[in-house]
Chain A
Amino acid sequence: MDLLYKVFIDPFVQMGTAPDLLVQTLWDGLVAGVLYSLIALGFVLIFKASGVFNFAQGIMVVFAALALVGLYDTLRRWGVPAGALAAYLALAVTIAVMFGLAFVIERVMLRPLVNQPDIILFMATFGLTYFLIGFGELVFGGDPKVMIAEQLGLPRGAIDIKMAGGFVSMQKIDIAAVIIVSLMVAALSFLFQRTRIGRALRAVADSHKAALSVGISLEHIWVVVWFAAGIVALATGIMWGARSEVSFSLQIIALKALPVLILGGFTSIPGAIIGGLIIGIGEKLGEFYWGPLLGSGIESWLAYFIALVFLLFRPQGLFGEKIIERI
């Protein structure tokens, strides 16, 4: 009886009696959700256009962030003054690096595996992940770094809003994150739906053979897509890195994208956003109001359970296409 009360009544009572905490939790969840969707977006891009689930997206986030910070430090050592100039110069070079990475991945990994079943490509991205981990640690070193958020012009500090009987604190960087992600999503949706290259991307996602037969160069498309995913990874790395620090532990966060993708479907950009928000908010609410019952740290698996329960009722996710098996 007591247990039932604790699980089903008490958390809601808490929510009601301290609405400012609720709003705070919701905001924190929104921010986390937006960042999850950003990672998920990278997965969706590649999956949409090549049918590959890019497990290495997480390490690409870390790699991009490390490259940015590393390049900034190198530029500083060459005498470029600290500040926006060096930061944006480093950013430009990093973007070029991500393009180079996409190019190499296409040549070395995607082209030889072009007709293999998806599971083989999926496993190949495991290999890519481990390779990039080793390579990244070799080149950049394993200690955590500080993201050059200020130099890039990202705001610091927090705004405290008086509401709901108390204070709700919003980090300015978080607000910036929400804005930036929204802009990216809008841009990507536009790219996919309205442009010629977007149409080509969708064609490739549907059928490699058919796309080839209408003259679409698979190799070009793949480089474009992995480059786009690389840009998303860079943006993710900057935002995540600015909120905490840049280290290899970040790549585990990428696994969190999986529940997001399950909810939102693997091929839907709006789905990635909605899925991210559901997971982010669900996780924060769960951890804050129900967490004390179970002990701390349940956010490490809560998202997966939410996704799992969801899968049981809707195996194709919120936005995914229902798969009809043809015999």
Chain B
Amino acid sequence: MFYREAGQFKTSYWADQSVFPILQDRIGLALILFAAFVLLPLSASDFFLSVVMVPFLIFALAAIGLNILTGYTGLLSLGTGGFMGVGAFACYKLTTLFPDVNIVIWILASGLFASGVGILFGLPSLRIKGFYLAVATLAAQFFLDWCFVRVPWLVNYNVSGAIEVPTRTLLGMPVTGPNATPQFRYLVILSIVTLLTWFASNLVHGRIGRSWMAVRDMDLAAELIGIKLYRTKLLAFAVSSYYCGVAGALMVFLWYGSAEPAVFGIDQSFFILFMVIIGGLGSLAGSFFGAALIYGLPIFMRSAVTAFGWQILPSTVEHLTFMTVGGLIIFFLIIEPNGLARLWQIGKQKMRVWPYPY
């Protein structure tokens, strides 16, 4: 009864093209943004911000990246971890070579390097389709894994083979390194993720998004209406890898504080892929849902164990988490292949007619 469009008429196509045409949706979005930018930093604990919100946002960003490639354009990619790594290492090299330039600029720039690598590994997409293309991304993943370990220049010849994040400041306050406060890190990440999500939403709702989806749904027909397949696919690789690269840079610089190359391995790629599958392929909101569920589940399970006082080993909890994630994926694929985003849409649909059943 509250979620009704009655009385909301669009009197121009301009208004109808808006991404959130229903007023209640716009209000909802405004509330969420207000809560995220204002309420949370003021009220949430350091733990919550550092351990829950920061990773959630970063994974959501990576999931958006993968979603653009796999969900919107239909190109299955198993190289997400590698692309994230490229962003992280690029950012590290840039900031150590040019320490005076603001770190946020380098974070955003590092995505471009990931983009370049993404385009490179997307080149085979002209000849290779569908499942076989996934193998090309797998090649990228393993090759990048190898590079991260075997090219000591990338970590500035650090003996440990890992990136160690130097302290950098923004607006006079430390934003990386041990002195950076969780609130500040959270706000910077939130701003970047919000901005990039807005860009992604714009792309996806316009001509480019339609081209991507056309390529996904029926590439022969897409060619017919004049879409240049190769360009569209490479653009998808470029944009997707950019998002993954920035997520990787954020992960190392504003979350972990250091990085071993193993962080960007095939397991990370699968992690993000599960987020996209469960959250909903082809949905930006789904990327957030999926990230929340897949990242949050182990934390939730661990907290539940301590809350209930069950005597379960942490390793056992981890095993149970694996089982639950695996089971959830199968469950979702059976019940709702379009993931949480579709369930959310169905929920909203029910809300519109509530209290009537249909």
Contacts and interface: CB of A to CB of B under 8 A. Distances in A.
| Residue among A122, A123, A135, A262 having the largest count of chain B Cβ atoms under 10 Å | A123
Nearest to A130: B326
Interface stretch (B3-11, B142-150, B170-178): B142-150
A138 B138 contact: no
B127 A126 contact: no
Contacts of A109: 330
Interface stretch (A92-100, A178-186, A305-313): A305-313
Given A127-B327, A255-B266, A307 B135 contact: yes
A78 interface: no
Interface string A99-121: 00000000011001100100110
B322 A131 contact: yes
Given A113-B334, A126-B329, A138 B323 contact: yes
Contacts of A120: 333, 337
Interface in A287-327: 295-298, 300-301, 304-305, 307-308, 311-312, 315, 325, 327
A124 B329 contact: yes
A298 B146 contact: yes
A127 B333 contact: yes
B26 interface: no
A255 B330 contact: no
B326 to A, nearest CB: 3
B319 A308 contact: no
A301 B146 contact: yes
Interface in B313-353: 315-316, 318-330, 333-334, 337
A259 interface: yes
B133 to A, nearest CB: 9
Contacts of A124: 329-330, 333-334
B25 to A, nearest CB: 29
Interface of A: 53, 108-109, 112-113, 116, 119-120, 122-124, 126-135, 137-138, 142, 252, 255, 258-259, 262, 295-298, 300-301, 304-305, 307-308, 311-312, 315, 325, 327
A134 B321 CA distance: 7
Interface residues of B, number: 42
Interface in B36-85: 76
B304 interface: no
A252 B267 CA distance: 10
Contacts of A113: 333-334
Nearest to B74: A119
A123 B138 contact: no
Contacts of B270: 126, 130
A140 to B, nearest CB: 10
A262 B134 CA distance: 11
A311 B322 contact: no
Contacts of B76: 119
B155 interface: no
B132 interface: yes
Given A129-B326, A134-B320, A308-B135, A325 B127 contact: no
Contacts of A325: 220
Contacts of B266: 252, 255
B186 interface: no
A252 to B, nearest CB: 7
A132 B326 contact: yes
Contacts of A131: 322-323, 325-327, 330
B224 to A, nearest CB: 9
Contacts of B315: 137, 142
B202 to A, nearest CB: 28
A228 B68 CA distance: 38
